[in-house]
Amino acid sequence: MAPEEKNPAAVDVHHLTVRFGSTVILSNLTFSIARGEIVALIGPNGSGKTTLLQAVLGLVPYEGIVRVFGGPVQQALGKIGYVPQRFSFDRTFPLTVGEFLSLSGVKLRNREWRGAVLEEVNLKGGENRRVGDLSGGQLQRLLIANALLSEPKLLLLDEPTAGVDIAGERGFYDLVSHLHRHHQITIMMVSHDLALVSKRATKIICLNREMVCFGTPEEAVTPEVLKQLYGEPEMNHLH
């Protein structure tokens, strides 16, 4: 059973299984993420990383128990920020940065917060720019700004640096570390870059449809685990 203490874990998952038709996408996962952790989900393509985030968010049907801050995710939606994998955004459509940030109708704590968020993601002064004109990295930062507006306690990021260049990627991880340090946000993120993730994450979940490892980067990511995940050692990205 999920713990019911006064200060419950950010995310509690018990015997989680997700099936699409007869295909098992995730099998019997059990783990708990304490508040304030940065957790990286790693694994090969098709290993179920995105599906795990979607199950935590209640976006896909599942078997088992998922609790967010001690309750069903529907009760915690106001505390969650989510940045999807590929924002299926039609770049030709007219929409400004400022308009995009107002779409979810989040009631801001104060007027300054919106400016502070834009400054944090380095987009201040760009509210009148068209979203379609932003670079991949800028769009990614805008999506994070959107997720931060509701002042989430839990931030879920699905391959946040996909399509972003190396400088943008490092800038992004600096931002994540900053958010974690200054806002005490619990972060779950899907990533492919093991080297960067190992430096930034406090916990790692290795997935290959089932749980292959769970723990701190030092204890979890062993050569055996990497072989189990990615096959031959030369395919590993941990330097």
Partner 1 sequence: MWFFNPIFLAPIVTGAMLAAVLAWLGVFVVIKRMSFVADGIAHASLTGIAIGVLWHANPLYTALVFSLVVGLAIYFLERRTNLQVDAIITLLFTTSLAIGILLLGHSGQQLEALENALFGDISTITTRDMLTIVGIAAVVGIFLWRTSKHLALMMFDRATAKVAGIPVDRLELAFYLTIVITIVLGIKLFGVLLVGALMIIPASAAKLVSRSFVGAVTRSILFAVLMVMAGLPLAHLFDLSSGAVVVLTGSILFTFMMGVHRFAYVRRP
Q: Which residues bind partner 1 (CB under 8 A)?
A: 54, 57, 59, 77-78, 80-82, 84, 87-90, 92-96, 99-100, 102-106, 130, 146, 150
- Shortest Å, Cβ 11 to partner 1: 14
- Of the pair 34, 77, the CB lying nearest partner 1 is at 77
- Of the pair 7, 74, the CB lying nearest partner 1 is at 74
- Shortest Å, Cβ 229 to partner 1: 26
- Of the pair 70, 132, the CB lying nearest partner 1 is at 132
C-alpha 187/C-alpha 37 separation (Å) is 6
- Of the pair 142, 221, the CB lying nearest partner 1 is at 142
- Shortest Å, Cβ 221 to partner 1: 29
Give the count of beta carbons closer than 10 Å to the beta carbon of residue 70: 17
- Shortest Å, Cβ 150 to partner 1: 8
> Directed axis angle between helix 166-183 and helix 136-148, to 10°?
10
